[in-house]
């Protein structure tokens, strides 16, 4: 383990808010990870495992050890006539992994193109987009159980996946993921039913899209809606889409008949958080160094010099205004420290 001290964290998060980390190490092996955690245990200090920092907001200095996940690599472990089995390092860039699989003709994750972050973060959040969730392709996850200091291989069912949720999120900081095992299809059935995907494929006159066609269409959609974090600090969607019971949705829908929502079960509806925020007048609003992105109201942006506290306070204003107008409580998707 190579240890650094008093590191500016701005370069390690996509929000680019300049807080400090007391200790920092970039680990590239499982042994180095275990050594780092044992060091924190001995020193009795907290630790934080960091990937690309695309889903985190520091609002104050971090007084423990930042463990930068640097375990990479994509290894094919098995294949059949219809499937390919892969073991992928937790520090591998997610979009790089998607692009690699698309190029190889292995399907299942192409709808998750251009989602920021690392492979190791994907099961924690159970990332999803355009009708696909990563849980559909995960066979198992290898992780260090910090409670027992033992390595674990957790099957898909043991990961307890839910909407933007998992065992790793519920038992926060217990498991540190080092590799993820995927099962992808050699002859995938493409998911192109989302309207915006259909529109782009139609505009390009693509009637029988390939994996690359679908991935490129999704990249086009995402880049048109989301700001480049290297130019404008952000963490993508800042809020989750809230759920309501069918009864409460129907009551709310009487007053707001244009509200965007869709059923996810017989008695539950998912509301579009972006619609709620936009209809509270936040889209394009800027207060000092923080603002609501003018092309997608789910995104909060740092215009250059915002502190994490400023971003957090801005998000709190949005939450309160949505609660007052719609009686719906938004939940932050971004991790706050």
State how many domains the chain has: 3
In a domain, 160, yes or no: yes
Report CA Rg, the chain. Answer: 21
Q: Model pTM?
A: 0.80
In a domain, 196, yes or no: no
Q: What does the pLDDT look like over 281-307, one tens digit per residue?
A: 999 999 999 999 998 899 999 998 888
Residues 6+ apart with CB under 8 A from 80: none
Residue 141: which pLDDT band, with cuts at 50, 70 and 90? very high
243 is catalytic: no
333 is catalytic: yes
Residue pair 298/238 in contact (Cβ under 8 Å)? The answer is yes
115 and 22 share a domain? no
63 and 78 share a domain? no
User: Among all chains, which residue has been given the structure tokens 């995938």?
Assistant: 188
Residue pair 177/124 in contact (Cβ under 8 Å)? The answer is yes
Q: Return d(Cα 134, Cα 213) in angstroms, integer.
A: 20
246 and 316 share a domain? yes
Q: What does the pLDDT look like over 187-215, one tens digit per residue?
A: 988 988 876 888 888 888 888 888 999 99
Annotated catalytic residue: which of 22, 164, 174, 191? 164
Annotated catalytic residue: which of 83, 139, 310, 333? 333
Annotated catalytic residue: which of 36, 140, 215, 237? 237
237 is catalytic: yes
Of 160, 185, 210, the residue that ends a domain is: 185
Q: What does the pLDDT look like over 253-275, one tens digit per residue?
A: 899 999 888 888 888 888 999 99
Q: Which residues pair with 140 in a beta bridge?
A: 155, 181
State residue 164's pLDDT score.
Answer: 82
* pLDDT above 90 coverage of the chain, percent: 63
Residues 6+ apart with CB under 8 A from 317: none
Q: Return d(Cα 74, Cα 72) in angstroms, integer.
A: 7
């Amino acid at each position: 383990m190579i240890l650094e001290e008093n590191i500016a964290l701005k370069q390690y998060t996509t929000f680019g808010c300049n807080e400090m980390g007391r200790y920092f190490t970039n680990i590239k092996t499982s042994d180095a990870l275990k050594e780092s955690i044992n060091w924190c245990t001995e020193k009795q200090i907290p630790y934080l495992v960091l990937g690309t920092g695309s889903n985190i907001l520091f609002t104050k200095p971090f007084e423990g050890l930042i463990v930068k996940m640097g375990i990479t690599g994509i290894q094919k472990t098995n294949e059949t006539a219809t499937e390919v089995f892969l073991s992928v390092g937790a520090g591998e860039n997610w979009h790089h992994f998607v692009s690699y699989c698309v190029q190889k003709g292995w399907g299942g994750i192409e709808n998750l193109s251009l989602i920021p972050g690392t492979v190791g973060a994907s099961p924690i959040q159970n990332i999803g987009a355009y009708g696909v969730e990563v849980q559909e392709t995960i066979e198992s996850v290898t992780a260090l159980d910090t409670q027992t200091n033992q390595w674990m291989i957790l099957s898909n069912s043991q990961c307890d996946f839910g909407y933007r949720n998992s065992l790793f999120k519920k038992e926060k900081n217990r498991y540190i993921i080092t590799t993820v095992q995927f099962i992808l299809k050699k002859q995938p059935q493409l998911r192109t039913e989302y309207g915006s995907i259909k529109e782009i494929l139609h505009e390009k006159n693509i009637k029988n899209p390939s994996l690359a066609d679908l991935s490129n269409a999704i990249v086009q959609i995402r880049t048109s809606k989301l700001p480049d974090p290297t130019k404008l600090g952000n963490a993508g969607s800042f809020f989750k889409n809230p759920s309501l019971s069918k009864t409460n949705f129907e009551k709310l829908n009487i007053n707001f008949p244009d509200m965007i929502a869709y059923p996810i079960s017989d008695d539950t509806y998912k509301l579009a958080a972006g619609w709620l925020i936009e209809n509270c007048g936040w889209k394009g609003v800027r207060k000092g160094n923080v603002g609501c992105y003018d092309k997608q109201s789910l995104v909060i942006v740092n215009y250059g010099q915002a502190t994490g506290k400023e971003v957090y306070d801005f998000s709190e204003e949005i939450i309160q205004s949505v609660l007052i107008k719609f009686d719906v409580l938004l939940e932050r998707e971004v991790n706050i420290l």
